[in-house]
Amino acid sequence: MTETWDALAGLVGAGDVVVLSGAGLSTESGIPDYRGPSGVARRHTPMTYQAFTRDPDARRRYWARSHLGWRTIAWAAPNAGHRAVARLQRAGLVTDVITQNVDGLHTAAGSGAVVELHGRLDEVVCLDCGNLTSREELDRRLREANPGFDGHVAAVNPDGDVELPDEAVTGFRTVDCGICGTGMLKPDVVFFGETVPAARVADCFSRVERARALLVLGSSLTVMSGRRFVIRAAKLGIPVAIANQGPTRGDDYAALTVDAPLGRLLPALADRLGAGPAGDATSGAVPAGVAPAAR
């Protein structure tokens, strides 16, 4: 346990670290990770780009569910893990943050140089004119179009989607682009069945290639969208450290793996490396719950 902790501190303490984060980092902000150990199973198929753009009923269901789910995401605040990443960045140890999360919590915690691989849920794009508008503005328009629409949200997914019975969705009115007047609106996030823009991927590759180490936080690396950066780093001999609750599909490429709650691990790491100020003070010792993952 101590050995893994020392190795992690050594790796991050050497600096030039690029962080790749996933849903597991945001669970302590109240956004469940449906793939992680604390997650809820996804009960419906995730919305695909194809269904969203071609099927008006699917689009209505999506917006009705997302309209409710958005409130959870909008109210979520960064947790001790996000804040520790920002501290490590201010201390000059972490250079860049690449995140698979669409919740904007790294930026809210004070991190800079954040690449949001899958976009941001708080922005809305028009698929016709390409204009970006704020989700807040859309939220206001959807409330106006659907007075009295409300529902009990049992579970929200990391992409802001919630479980909602079909009958609750009937009659929900979607709205079109307020700028061109007719364009279809979509949250500016990468849907299933959609690819991350090539320039964004290339940007991430070049950040990873310049790194001394890649630190994966809270991602099971299930999808190639994130795993490819781990594979690239390993191929180039850049050490990869993975901190996640549970095994990941990148473990075979990792120099070290740590199974720990990130809200405890990361502040302890920042304290140990003297990355102040310590907003979430710890002793800098091996935090409770830190155990080397089975290899």
Catalytic (active site) residue 67: no
Phi and psi, residue 158, nearest 5°:
-60, -20
Task: Report if residue 126 touches Zn ion, rule: CB under 5 A.
Answer: yes
Question: Candidates 8-16, 127-135, 164-172, 190-198 — which segment interacts with Zn ion by CB under 5 A?
Answer: 127-135
Listing from the earlier edge strand, what are the strands of the sheet with 213-217? Answer: 114-116, 94-99, 17-21, 213-217, 240-243, 256-259, 291-292
> How many residues of this chain bind Zn ion (CB under 5 A)?
7
Q: Which of 44, 106, 118, 152 is catalytic?
A: 118
Task: Report if residue 138 touches Zn ion, rule: CB under 5 A.
Answer: no
Amino acid identity of residue 207, one-letter, is R
Give DSSP secondary structure letters for 60-77: HHHHHHHHHHHHHHHH--
Residue 64 token pair: 């009705």
Question: Candidates 5-13, 16-24, 35-43, 123-131 — which segment interacts with Zn ion by CB under 5 A?
Answer: 123-131
Q: Which C-beta is closer to Zn ion: that of 15 or that of 183?
A: 183
CB of 135 to Zn ion, least distance (A): 15
The label of the residue with tokens 């490396």 reads: 273
Question: Containing H/E element for 207?
Answer: helix 198-209
CB of 149 to Zn ion, least distance (A): 24
- Quick note: the x/- pattern for Zn ion over 167-196, rule CB under 5 A, is ----------x-xx--x-------------
Q: Which C-beta is closer to Zn ion: that of 183 or that of 246?
A: 183
Amino acid identity of residue 24, one-letter, is G
Return the DSSP state at 225. Answer: H
Task: Report if residue 129 touches Zn ion, rule: CB under 5 A.
Answer: yes
Site for Zn ion in 41-80 (CB under 5 A): none
Q: Which C-beta is closer to Zn ion: that of 163 or that of 188?
A: 188
CB of 145 to Zn ion, least distance (A): 17
The closest alpha carbon to 61, from 41, 76, 44, belongs to 44
Site for Zn ion in 139-168 (CB under 5 A): none
Please state whether beta strands 94-99 and 17-21 pair in parallel, antiparallel, or not at all (unpaired). Answer: parallel
CB of 118 to Zn ion, least distance (A): 22
Q: How far apart are CA 167 and CA 80, in angstroms?
A: 39
Interface ranges with Zn ion (CB under 5 A): 126, 128-129, 177, 179-180, 183
Active site residues: 118
